[in-house]
Chain A
Amino acid sequence: MKQIDERIEKSSNALAAKLLWVMIALQVIVLIVKVCLGGGAYCLLDVLALVVGLGAAAVLMTVRGVWHAGDEILREIRNACLNKAFMAMLMTLLIGEFLLILLDEAHAGWYAASLIVWSIPALIYTVAAVKNGLFQWGGKKAETKGKVQLAKSTALGALFFGIVMGGPSCIRDGAFDPMGIVKIIGMGAMWGVLFYLMFTALLKVGEKQADKAAAEAEHEE
């Protein structure tokens, strides 16, 4: 499904580079609020996310020598570095929050605050990507291939979601409960269908936006 299109890559990098600072700002605010409310003991993920986000950005920008991006090319390289840092911080928050809530359910409320930190930039990223036509199949052939790939990935995701959500229902009073399997399939199917439909709908809108931008450019001058 994924074609390497330099135009899309550059625009996505520029978008993520801006959103990294939004995510860092949100993380700092959440961290301060948590400490002020007495949740200092549950800030491990918040600190880790900041270290990963800022650390990755600093290391990558130092390695590529783009701290002072004076021209377009250096800015593009810096955006690529910041995009990687954005993704690293996002993944840290997503996986970290999931694991902490799973392992320490009693304090899930504190860990759930990370939702604010990653969901706002992720939502802005998605809306902007769809609006600017960055989120698209990129052609009929790519669409056909992409849909198959998306269906496979969705099936895996649905299975994971089903096991996480319905898995505990398989054991009741120390014995296997077949209804748990039904629950796993039900939860997985519900998530899978919703995700697939939502994802393809977003791609359809993104494709239309990209066509609109290309048509407008064609008719200019």
Chain B
Amino acid sequence: MKNKKMKIARIEKDLSQEQLAEQLGVTRQTIGLIESGSYNPTLKLCVAICKALDKTLDELFWPETEG
């Protein structure tokens, strides 16, 4: 499942995938794979992403509840 919330949060912060990757010390492709839902990051990386994007874990990684 794609992580659109993370992509939107990154764009809101005016960061490219490469800039976010540099901040986190990972590769650009890893950010791409997380956003596309093809890679599940560890909690450690999730927290680092949240800190970099000024969001909480809930806001970025908790799946939307179906109505």
- A interface, CB within 8 angstroms of B: 3-8, 133, 136, 138-142, 210-211, 213-215, 217-218, 220-221
- B interface, CB within 8 angstroms of A: 1-2, 18, 21-22, 25-30, 32-33, 35-39, 41-42, 44-45
Enumerate chain A residues within 8 angstroms of B37, measured Cβ to Cβ.
217, 221
- Are B30's CB and A139's CB within 8 A? no
A208 to B24, CA, bound (A): 21
A138 to B37, CA, bound (A): 19
A138 to B25, CA, bound (A): 9
A133 to B39, CA, bound (A): 14
Cβ of A144 to closest chain B Cβ, rounded Å = 12
Enumerate chain A residues within 8 angstroms of B27, measured Cβ to Cβ.
3, 5, 7-8, 136, 138-139, 142, 210
- Are B30's CB and A217's CB within 8 A? no
Enumerate chain B residues within 8 angstroms of A6, measured Cβ to Cβ.
26, 30, 41-42, 44-45
A138 to B11, CA, bound (A): 20
- Are A213's CB and B33's CB within 8 A? yes
Give 20 pairs: A residue, B residue, CB < 8 Å, sorted on A.
A3-B26, A4-B26, A5-B26, A5-B27, A5-B30, A6-B42, A7-B26, A7-B30, A8-B27, A136-B27, A138-B27, A139-B18, A139-B27, A141-B22, A214-B32, A215-B32, A217-B32, A217-B36, A220-B36, A220-B38
Enumerate chain A residues within 8 angstroms of B44, measured Cβ to Cβ.
6
Specify the chain A residue showing the minimal Cβ separation from B35: A218
